[in-house]
Chains A and B, each alone.
Chain A
Amino acid sequence: KQEVTQIPAALSVPEGENLVLNCSFTDSAIYNLQWFRQDPGKGLTSLLLIQSSQREQTSGRLNASLDKSSGRSTLYIAASQPGDSATYLCAATGNQFYFGTGTSLTVIP
């Protein structure tokens, strides 16, 4: 069974810092890797979808990379802002969507 791990569970950084969130998965036979953001009391919002044939995707200050062979994906956030504070989850897709437990990010003004 696919297992997805996100480390660290929580991260606190000063505003303006560049940061990297990590996502590891045990079975490299995935179709896609999707990153989500969840604000308190809200649903999950899709940020980026990396298909298995791709190595990375970019949207604004966000860049996500995928290395299937090593079972890793990273989400890079440039010039972090307080509004980036949220929980970030990754999901590896196979027969279903397999979610990590998320990284809670706090950006301090």
Chain B
Amino acid sequence: DAGVIQSPRHEVTEMGQEVTLRCKPISGHNSLFWYRQTMMRGLELLIYFNNNVPIDDSGMPEDRFSAKMPNASFSTLKIQPSEPRDSAVYFCASSFLGPNTGELFFGEGSRLTVL
């Protein structure tokens, strides 16, 4: 299995620009998670999908952030407009059946720098 695939691996953009991060979960997994990791705040859950439906988006910082999962094999996390404080590593992770039974697998992450 190819594992969780994220793109781009690195993104440098200027404040105010739109950023789109992409994720392909492991085939057969029905739960998908977006996390943000910084030195100051550690690993934070942004949003969690189950069967393509958002279950918990309480971690999404503000309206500038949005996430979609149009089908079982693709998800996007969009930041518009981006700000320097959004600079972080964004991880996508997937699981079969979700947190109550499944093992969580991470992608390599997308490192975002907003200037």
Binding site for B on A (CB under 8 A): 31-32, 34, 36, 41-46, 49, 89, 91, 93-97, 99, 101-102
Q: Which 5 A-B pairs have the closest CB atoms?
A: A93-B99, A43-B106, A44-B106, A31-B100, A43-B108
Q: Chain B binding site: helix, strand, loop or mixed by DSSP?
A: strand
Per-residue CB proximity of B27-48 to A under 8 Å, as 1/0? 0000001000000001101001
A31 / chain B contacts, CB cutoff of 8 Å: 99-101
Q: Which residues of A contact B33 (CB under 8 A)?
A: 96-97
Bound-complex Cα distance A99 to B103 (A): 13
A32, A91, A94 interface centre (most CB from chain B within 10 Å): A32
User: In the complex, are the beta carbons of B106 and A96 less than 8 A apart?
Assistant: no
Bound: A76/B48 CA distance, A: 31
Name B's A-contacting residues (CB within 8 A).
4, 33, 42-43, 45, 48, 56, 91, 93, 99-101, 103-109, 111
- B103: chain A residues at CB < 8 Å are 32, 34, 46, 49
Min Cβ gap A70→B in Å is: 21
Could you tell me the distance between the alpha carbons of A91 and B101 in the complex, rounded to whole angstroms? Answer: 13
- CB of B91 within 8 A of CB of A43, answer yes
* Min C-beta distance of A4 to chain B, whole Å: 10
Can you name 16 A-B residue pairings with CB atoms under 8 Å?
Answer: A31-B101, A32-B99, A32-B100, A32-B103, A41-B111, A42-B108, A43-B106, A43-B107, A43-B108, A44-B93, A45-B106, A46-B106, A89-B43, A96-B45, A96-B56, A101-B43
Q: What separation, in Å, do the CA atoms of A106 and B18 have in the docked complex?
A: 38
Query: Contact at B45–A97, with CB atoms within 8 Å?
Result: yes
**A44:B100 contact, CB within 8 angstroms:** no
- Chain A residue contacts of B42, Cβ below 8 A: 99, 101-102
Q: Shortest CB–CB separation between residue A40 and chain B, in angstroms?
A: 11
Q: Are B99 and A94 in contact (CB under 8 A)?
A: yes
Name B104's contact: one of A41, A42, A91, A94 (CB within 8 Å): A91
A46 and B105: CB pair below 8 A?
A: yes
Q: How far is the CB of A64 from chain B (nearest CB, A)?
A: 13
B101 / chain A contacts, CB cutoff of 8 Å: 31-32
